[in-house]
A and B are shown apart, each in its own frame.
Chain A
Amino acid sequence: MPEFILITGRTSKQGAALHKGKDSAEYRLATGFVSMNHEDREHLGVEAGRRVRVRTAFGETELELKEGKLPPGMIFVPMGPAANVLIGAETQGTGMPDSKGLKAEVEPL
């Protein structure tokens, strides 16, 4: 299974969509995807727009695959309910979970 480094974070679409309501289609679309670069996507053999399963040591979730300008081996998921499933609650005494730089696997569905 190809292994990636997962980064989660804000996007402008996530920021604008959250005011439409967390139940809105806009918010689900803005937070319910994973992106990787063109070469990694080709290597995975999945078309953009199809769903994939993303798995970390803490959980797994199904997301829409998108292409983005990312370095090889890196995937990005916007902050939100989908990203939360993939993040662990250990904070190493700081209060802050590891929300960036997690090991993740991506599996075609």
Chain B
Amino acid sequence: MKIENVVCPFCGCLCDDIVVEVEDSRITAVKNACASGRSLFLNAHTQAVQPKVNGEEVDWPQAIDAAARILNDAASPLIYGLSSTASEAQRKAIALADLLGATIDSTSSVCHGPTTIGIQNQGEPTCTLGEVKHRADLLIFWGCNPAEAHQRHFSRYSALAKGKLTPNGRKDRTVVVVDVRPTASSRRADIFLQVRPGCDFEVLAALRALLKGQHLDVDEVGGVGVVQLQDLVERMKSCRFGVIFFGMGVTQTGGKHLNVAELLALVAELNAYTRFTTMPMRGHGNVAGADSTLTWQTGYPFAVNFARGYPQYNPGEFTAVDVLARGEADAALIIASDPVAHFPRQAAQRLSQIPTIVLDPEINLTAQVARVMLPTAIYGVSAAGTAYRMDNVPLPLKKVVESPRPTDEQVLDWMIERVKTCLA
């Protein structure tokens, strides 16, 4: 059976033109997807697997009971992950955090968390990827490498896409890459500006100064010639529709949210001349949904704590790396994420010292240190749900194969009911 218009749940591009062929509840072919998306569909584990507690197979009620007891006994539980699950499950995770008085945080905090802090300081000009495709004639990729991390971004939405006002695709657009190193993306750009590591803020501040007509009494800023910066300013002022896409090169270096706020200030000021906008390159398939769902449920996008009975927000205090590295979390529920594979060692080690529960389709590195492993269906493959693209457009994820596994949403529902009975 051939299923068309499937949304790939892997990255923030959420490409919705994937064709999947299914035979006997098994995916046999995938068309249109990138290497990562193809690998996701072809290696998807959908067969029945029993949950495990302390390494022993148990039935679902026993596993839910063990998980609920761990969470109830904890003084300061952490719920973390959320970015590779559907928004319906994210909503349940927030309800559980509320019930437990827990801290809840998403992978945003080690990705575009600083972007959110920057947006809260500065405001954010937004647009959809459809507008970029149809209108943008100047594309700037700052500290991001879509050729490796968002492999179909160029062809579907940006550099190569043919739109109504950009009928010739690549020929109708100028592509600029700003990065500390040459990348697969910079090799496809018209202009590459190589910034010295840690100097993004200086370069952005210089661009703002040049935009205001100020004279810079130096030849270069952060490794980039002032002549090149002046040229970029002229291109930005004179384009029809400009966009700065930005990534971890801006958020993971010194300055973090301050770099983002400076970038957003530059974009805001460019709107005195032309239509100019910006968009963070969101990594996981529904990390934008984690921000959106947490915001409409609690008022805050990440780093939320319910210990006082109402939501409090404080990055650095209620973010996952911090509560783990400081040894504050005394139990953890990890949903659709693998912090042991991606957190600094000091934070990751804490997860093997405290009782950890994992909800995930895969036996990932966190599952290997977890006390309770709850194997669930894969949203976009064996479960339907909602995910938000990097431009915050929600898209329906399809169930393309049947799976006996419960969804994250169902498991979280069972957990909420069991915690309520324990509390009663």
Contact = CB atoms under 8 A, between A and B. Distances in A.
B145 A95 contact: no
A25 to B, nearest CB: 14
A79 B341 CA distance: 8
A43 interface: no
Interface in B21-55: 34-36, 38-40, 42-44
A94 B319 contact: yes
Nearest to A89: B325
Given A58-B345, A79-B342, A95-B320, A16 B256 contact: no
A84 B365 CA distance: 13
B362 interface: yes
B110 interface: yes
A100 B113 contact: no
Contact of B197 (A5, A21, A80): A5
A19 B360 CA distance: 13
B4 to A, nearest CB: 22
Chain A: interface size category: 35 or more
Contacts of A99: 110, 248, 252
Given A21-B362, A88-B344, A89-B346, A100 B249 contact: yes
B358 to A, nearest CB: 13
Contact of B344 (A15, A21, A58, A101): A58
A22 B361 CA distance: 13
Contact of B253 (A11, A22, A89, A100): A100
Contacts of B340: 81
B114 A96 contact: yes
Most buried by A among B38, B40, B253, B338: B253
B117 interface: yes
Contacts of B198: 101
B111 to A, nearest CB: 8
Contacts of B188: none
B38 to A, nearest CB: 8
B36 A16 contact: yes
11 contacts: A7-B197, A10-B248, A12-B148, A15-B35, A15-B149, A21-B43, A22-B341, A58-B344, A70-B182, A95-B109, A100-B252
Interface of B: 10-11, 34-36, 38-40, 42-44, 105, 109-110, 113-114, 117, 145, 147-149, 151, 180-182, 184, 194, 197-198, 248-249, 251-254, 256-257, 283, 302-303, 315-317, 319-322, 324-325, 338, 340-348, 362-365
Interface of A: 5, 7-12, 15-22, 58-59, 69-71, 74, 76, 79-81, 84-85, 87-89, 91-101
A-B CB proximity, top 3 nearest: A95-B319, A93-B316, A89-B325
